[in-house]
Chain A
Amino acid sequence: MTFWNNPINFIGYWLNGILTGWHLPAAIASILLYVIGIIVLILFAMTLDIGLVWVERKVVARFQDRLGPNRIGPFGLIQPVADIIKMVIKEDITPDGADKIIYNVAPVLAATSVIVLWAILPLASTIYGVDLNVGLLFIVAAGALGTLAIIMAGWSSNNKYALLGAFRMVSNMISYEIPMVIILLIPTILANTMSVRGITQAQSGMWFAILSPLALLIFLISAIAELGRSPFDLNEAESEIVAGFHIEYTGMKFGWFYAGELLHAFTFGGFIAILFFGGYGGFFGLEKLAVLTWLNIPFVQALVFIAKATFGYWVIMWIKYSVPRIRIDHMLAFNWKFLVPLSLVVLVNTATLNKVLIVLPNWLYVLGMFGSNIVIGYATIEILRAYGRKQRKAEKIPEPQAHTQEQAV
C-alpha cells in the first residue's frame, strides 16, 4: 500500500501509529481518526461551497450577459469571502412572535441535512466516508430532514409569506420525492445493490445513463424540484412571496440556507454522476489498457468525479437560469399525472427486461435496454401529442403551424 493508491488508509495508519505511540487506547485512537477524517471531509465540502458561491454568481452573470463579481480579487475570486464576512457581522434579527428555538434550529438542520450526504459520497475508489448498504435510501432520508427544516423555518418565522412559502416548498418536495424514490430503484435493480460505491463499481463497463436514459431524465427533473430551484422555485418566488420560508432570516442564518442550497445542488450533481455516469470510474473498461492505468490513481478518480459532478451541477444551473417558473397546479399535475406514471412504467420495464435480457450477449442486452427506453419515450411523446390535439380541438385552438422560411422572413 502506497500513498498514491490508498491515501486515506496510508495517512490513517501513519496517524494511528503516532496516536498509539502516545499510549492512547486503540478504541479512542480509532474514534479520533474518524473525527479527523470527518472534519477534513466536511471542511473540504465547505471550501467547495465557498467556491460554488463564486461559480454560481459568475455563471448566472454569463447567462444574463453580465460580468458578475469582478472587483474583489482576480476575476472576483475573493468575493465569496467578502460575502461571508458581511453575513457574519450583520445584525441578526429575530422577528416578534417567532418561536425562538425552532427558528434557530431550522437553518442548522437545513445545512446538516446536506452535509451528511457527504458521508456516503465516494470521491474515489479508496477515498470515501462509509460504504452503507442502504446508501440510496440514506439520500432520501437526508432529504426528509431537509423538508422538516423548511417547514420549521416557515412555521417559526410568524410570517404569512414564510408559512405560504414553506407549504409550497414542502408540497413540491414531497410530491417530487415519489418519482425520485421510484427512479432510485432502477440503479438498484441494475447494480443489484443499494450501496453508492457498489453502484459506481457496477458501471465500470457501461453507464446506467445508456441502459436507462429515461431514468436519468426523470431523476434530473425530480432532483431540481427537490432542490427547489427554478423552474420549481415557487417556494421563494420573489415576485409573490418575497423569499418564501427564509424571508425573516438575516445574516449567517440566511447564509446557511443559501450555502446549503448551493452545496445541495452540487451534491445532487455528484449523485447524478454516481448513479448514471459511473462516478469516479465508468471508463468503459479503458482503464485496463496499459497506457491508461493512471486512471486508477485515486486522485485522478477524484478529479474525474468532481468534473462529472460539476457538469451535473452546471446542467442544473443551466436549467435554473433559462426556464421560467411553473405555476403550482401545473407543477403538481406534471408530477402526479406524468412523472409518477412514467417512472412506474420505466421501473416495470427495467425490472422485466433486466431479468429477461440478461441471458443475451452483452451488446444485445445494452441495445435492448436502450431501445426499450427509446420506445417508451417515443410512445409517451405520441400520447402527449394526441392528448394535446384533442384538447385543442375541444377548445377550438388552431393547430400550431411550422414556420416556413418565407414566413420567418
Chain B
Amino acid sequence: MTAEQIIFLLTGALVLVSALMVVTVRNLLHAALWLVVALFGVAVLYAILQANFLAVVQVVVYIGAIAILFIFAVMLTRREAMEKGRQTRNNWWIPALLGLTILTGLAVLILSFPGVQRTEAVLPAGLDTVQALGTALVSPDAYVLPFEVASVLMLAALVGAVYIATVDKK
C-alpha cells in the first residue's frame, strides 16, 4: 500500500463519516458544520486527482458561500423545540434499506465494469489544466453554450430568490 492510497483511504473515511454525521446529528448547525468537513474532504480528493482549479473552487464556493448560506438559514429558522425530538421520520428504516440496496447494486455494477482497473491517464507535460479548462469553456466547439447558460441559470436563481424575498416583505 502506497502513501497515496493511505491518504486516499483516510480522506475517504473522513468524507463518509462526516456525511453520516450530516444525516444523523440532531443539531442542524452541527449538521451544517459536518457538511463543511465532508466538502473539505472532497476538495482533498480533487487535489489528489490533480484537479487544482476544482479543489480550490470547492473550498471557495461550497465552504465560503454555500455553507455560510446554510448556516445563516439555520440560524434564521432555528427553534429550540425543533431540536428536542427525533430528527428522522418514523419509518427511517425504509430509506436506510433503500440506500443499502442501491449501494450494493452500484458496487456490484462498478466492480463488474471492465474499466475500473484502468490506471490514471498521463497528464501531458506542460499542460496547465486551468488554462485547458478555460479554453474548453469558451471554445465555440466545446462548452461555451453551457458556460453562458450557467450564467443565465444563476441570473434566474438570483431573480427568483430575490422575488421570493421581496414578495414576503410586503
A-to-B contact residues, CB < 8 Å? 27, 102, 132-134, 137-138, 140-141, 143-145, 147-148, 151-152, 155, 163, 167, 170, 174, 177, 194
Contact = CB atoms under 8 A, between A and B. Distances in A.
Interface string B65-106: 101100110010000000000000000000000000000000
Nearest to B51: A134
A51 B125 CA distance: 43
Nearest to A181: B60
B15 interface: no
Given A144-B63, A148-B63, A155-B75, A133 B128 contact: yes
Contact of A132 (B52, B57, B65, B67): B52
Contact of B63 (A138, A145, A155, A163): A145
Interface residues of B, number: 22
A174 B68 contact: yes
B72 to A, nearest CB: 8
Given A134-B52, A134-B56, A194-B130, A140 B64 contact: yes
A143 B68 CA distance: 13
A133 B65 CA distance: 22
A61 to B, nearest CB: 36
Contacts of A132: 52
Nearest to A143: B64
B29 interface: yes
A137 B59 CA distance: 9
Contacts of A145: 59, 63
A52 to B, nearest CB: 26
Nearest to A192: B131
Closest 9 pairs between A and B when the two form their complex, measured CB to CB: A144-B64, A141-B59, A137-B56, A134-B52, A141-B56, A134-B56, A144-B63, A141-B60, A140-B60
Contacts of B128: 133
Majority-rule SS of B interface residues? helix
A138 B56 contact: yes
Contacts of A177: 64
Given A27-B3, A137-B60, A102 B53 contact: no
A138 B59 CA distance: 9
Contacts of B57: 137
Interface of B: 3, 29, 33, 36, 52-53, 55-57, 59-60, 63-65, 67-68, 71-72, 75, 128-130
A162 to B, nearest CB: 13
A294 to B, nearest CB: 33
Nearest to B128: A133
Nearest to B129: A133
A27 B7 CA distance: 15
Contact of A147 (B29, B56, B64): B64
A144 B130 contact: no
Nearest to B55: A134
A102 B31 CA distance: 12
Contacts of B56: 134, 137-138, 140-141
15 contacts: A102-B33, A132-B52, A133-B52, A133-B130, A134-B56, A140-B64, A141-B59, A145-B63, A148-B36, A148-B67, A148-B68, A151-B68, A151-B71, A167-B75, A174-B68
Contacts of A27: 3
Contacts of A163: 75
A290 B3 CA distance: 49
B53 A144 contact: no
Contacts of A140: 56, 60, 64
Contacts of A155: 29, 71, 75
A137 B54 CA distance: 10
Nearest to B54: A134
Contacts of B75: 155, 163, 167
A143 to B, nearest CB: 7
A27 B52 CA distance: 23
Contacts of A138: 56
A27 B67 CA distance: 37
Chain A CB within 10 A, most for which of B3, B59, B64, B71: B64
Contact of A174 (B53, B55, B65, B129): B65
